[in-house]
């Protein structure tokens, strides 16, 4: 399964290069994206290939390989619109970024490795805490993405402040949530030891 995902990510990466190559001379942001996004996909694909080839990181490979399909598909949507449907470029940009964040958030709720999750000082200490923490991060990211998507569609352009501000707030609240759950588990362990 992991090798199949890696294969399709490689195909999507190749398509992103094909789409972006003729657009490099366009005015920014299209020209910039046509250069940077395919290169980023190549780097992500290389990292996924290395993880799958490495015996040491084999457990992390599946989570990473699923997550890395998102940027490749996002690039295809954005550059495909820029090349073939330029009047829909802003809409494609809005949808691609938010669908990526929604997909990442949804996957995070089931994350079992730090590569595809949000590690904190506290949630890495216990698998049960990790699960609770990732569900909080994942659901929060999906909610923020939906709110930002609606706001962006109303404005007609990518609403970066809501998306970025929401993610920063989520990281802060996620660490507090992680610490609170860790504190609760410590108290329960102490009570059981006394009893």
* Nearest Cα residue to 112 out of 52, 53, 45, 61: 61
pLDDT score at 195? 61
Instruction: Divide the 195 residues of the chain into consecutive groups of 10 and give the mean pLDDT of each group.
Output: 76 91 88 90 82 63 67 89 90 89 84 74 86 92 94 86 91 94 88 75
Alpha helices per DSSP H over the chain:
2-20, 30-53, 58-67, 69-84, 89-108, 127-155, 160-194
pLDDT number for residue 145 = 93
User: Max Cα separation, the chain?
Assistant: 72
pLDDT of residue 160: 80
Rounded to two decimals, what is the model's pTM? 0.76
In this prediction, residue 115 carries a pLDDT of 62
Which pLDDT belongs to residue 127?
83
DSSP code for 20? H
pLDDT of residue 17: 92
CA-CA distances (angstroms) from residue 141 to 27, 44, 64, 107, 169?
32, 21, 18, 10, 10
Phi, psi of 60 (to 5 degrees): -85, -15
Query: What integer pLDDT is reported at residue 144 of this predicted model?
Result: 95
């Amino acid at each position: 399964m992991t090798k199949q995902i890696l294969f399709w990510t490689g195909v999507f990466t190749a398509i992103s290069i094909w789409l972006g190559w003729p657009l490099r001379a366009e005015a920014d942001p299209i020209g910039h994206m046509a250069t940077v996004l395919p290169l980023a996909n190549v780097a992500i694909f290389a990292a996924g290939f290395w993880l799958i080839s490495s015996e040491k990181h084999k457990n992390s490979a599946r989570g990473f390989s699923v997550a890395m399909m998102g940027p490749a598909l996002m690039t295809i949507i954005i550059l495909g619109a820029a090349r073939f449907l330029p009047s829909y470029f802003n809409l494609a940009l809005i949808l691609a970024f938010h669908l990526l964040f929604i997909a990442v958030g949804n996957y995070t709720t089931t994350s079992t490795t730090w590569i595809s999750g949000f590690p904190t000082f506290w949630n890495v200490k216990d698998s049960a805490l990790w699960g609770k923490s990732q569900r909080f991060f994942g659901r929060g990211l999906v909610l923020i993405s939906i709110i930002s998507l609606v706001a962006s569609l109303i404005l007609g352009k990518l609403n970066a402040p809501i998306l970025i501000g929401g993610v920063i707030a989520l990281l802060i609240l996620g660490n507090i949530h992680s610490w609170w759950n860790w504190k609760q588990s410590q108290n329960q362990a102490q009570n059981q030891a006394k009893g």
